[in-house]
Structure 1
Amino acid sequence: MKILVTGGAGFIGSAVVRHIIKNTQDSVINVDKLTYAGNLESLACVEKNERYVFEQVDICDRAELDRVFAQHQPVAVMHLAAESHVDRSITGPSDFIQTNIVGTYTLLEATRAYWNELSAEAKKAFRFHHISTDEVYGDLPHPDEVASDTKLPLFTETTSYAPSSPYSASKASSDHLVRAWLRTYGIPIIVTNCSNNYGPYHFPEKLIPLVILNALEGKVLPIYGKGDQIRDWLYVEDHARALYKVVSTGKVGETYNIGGHNEKQNLEVVQTICKILDTLVPKENPYADQIIFVTDRPGHDRRYAIDAMKISNQLNWQPEETFETGLRKTIEWYLTNQEWCKHVQDGTYQRERLGI
């Protein structure tokens, strides 16, 4: 296949590109605007591969999208380009509306114009894979809110949408647009909703890389509220494998939830990072001494948890990493890639708090 990947210089997108180039015979057209979170250094290992092409294009630029489609003739689109940080969406929601909603609409319309000109056979083979988040579902009951013998619910593919933040509302909007373009225009779409990703090449505004880098520099490790918010953690390379499996074998019109089967409280995540660092980079005092608790973010969801049985049963996908093995790999990567960390932050972000 020749696959057009939007946002391929971002965290999850670059993992998808690396996976496709390294593990398949498919080609990739990477379309990325290169905002603060997009970094071509994350793709250094594939940039010279003859099956890889980079196009610096904003998905809101219809003319450039039309050119890319006409020039490269993809047989599938994997749409990952998005503004994705909740705190940033609280501080400035307009970028999220523009990229996640207007950008998705523009990409859908460019796709529709391209798809309408394909042969009947090519139309049938084409796929538009929209990558979204579990945050569109809102949040779930927390263990301290229910009786101890109550079975806690999980997000399924039919869970109603109830987004809480400007970020999740913009992603919910994009999900609805994509499904409408199937129902109204017949574009062969597939949607996936994933849990919290972590792993190498993660921009350090997110919890795990932020804590790793702050810990190594002796800075405080800020935790929102009591740190009892629960997330389901998914190693990014496991996610990349799942996404490729969906675009290549998933059923048109279906939604697949992708999770890591790792429900952890934020405080537990930070404490685990500290324990691993105590082993790998020991110092006089435990890293956990750097933990502080700060005022919670507005509208903070308390618990997310994915039921990933559908993709397991129908597409035979399972995560390969446990939280412990994935987290250790992640920490070791950051320890040996300090130059990458420095470059992605220069002039853009110094790990200050956002979303107050």
Structure 2
Amino acid sequence: MLRTRTSLSTWSQERSMKWLVLLGLVASSECIVKIPLTRVQIMRKTHSEKKMLNNFLKEHAYSLYQTSSPDSNITTHPLRNIKDMFYMGNITIGTPPQEFQVAFDTGSSDLWVPSYFCISPTCYSHVMFRHLESSTFQLITKTFKTEYGSGKMQGVLGRDTVRIGDLVSIDQLFGLSLEQSGFEELPFDGVLGLSYPNMSFIGGIPIFDNLKKQGAISEYVFAFYLSKSKPEGSVVMFGGVDKSYYQGTLNWVPLIQARTWCVHMDRISMEGQTVACYGGCEALMDTGASLIQGPGNLVNNTLRLIGATPQGSKHYVSCSAVNTLPSINFTINGINYPLPAQAYTIKDSSGNCYIGIRGNRVSTSTETWILGDVFLRQYFSVFDRGNDRIGLAQAV
């Protein structure tokens, strides 16, 4: 068991650390479990917006209940929508269960939440795991470090019972942060990774793999539906696909390798002209990334063609002109996935509209794009571990 902060600090000094840099913060059969997601927006560091967020949280209390249809094994959690950018849902850890809200992230593989021993101020504004209150907790004397696009953290490992709705993962390895930064303005407490085991930097079996191994789910798939304009309705479902969340055909795309949720993309075009991904590139389907991200020079060229004006780190357009802007077509496995301007423009807290596409500074040998929530709101996505493929269909 954890005893003192001093002992944890000693472990941190004695152990070697690993670093993971992620580009984003960074389902009809039996036993389908749907977990509600909450859409949130990064809040600026202003007193007025912090007050707005606190008032919103009070007015939209997270009521915990479950519903299931008599002729279905689908379990659904309630949703709480805060703003626009990130999606999160609740889980519990420990015995008795302690509740946390986490970002369900296909760009990483590890689960972590803040520890009661965390010394960073940001931890005090989030729910912290109290290990002494859990009769099933086991300490693992190993430390780790992780860095995301929006922040970094370091912590110690533990094992405990983790619940996602009715799904239970026993003896699940997870991280407990001791220090963290960059998460001050983010309402979620931690991250639940849904990528492949090789992406784990804490060295354990990811929770989705454990759920399948322990027989909690029958099909080796999970899926996301991310709401576009209403404050409720987003879900992540485990063990099958609920067809009511999409229309038309579910198109399957094989993964480049059974290591990450990355597929081959043919091209990116506007009005019949290729604007990026000339000759093909890679596309990572990342629910933990709010925006679409790509190589800086190609993104800047696309933004110029749209007519966006740079202001700080964002590119703005007139909100009144959104309906006149061209769609951006993402061609994947020979099929076009058009993204209308209404989908790739976002209204900020001041009522101005910016483009939800951002250039990154990461240099890779292969042109890589991250298709985050801006894309995944438009297209229902199925992540099939059993067949190493992703299914995409028009979201309802």
**TM-score category (smaller protein):** under 0.3
Structure 1 length normalisation: TM-score? 0.26
Structure 2 length normalisation: TM-score? 0.24
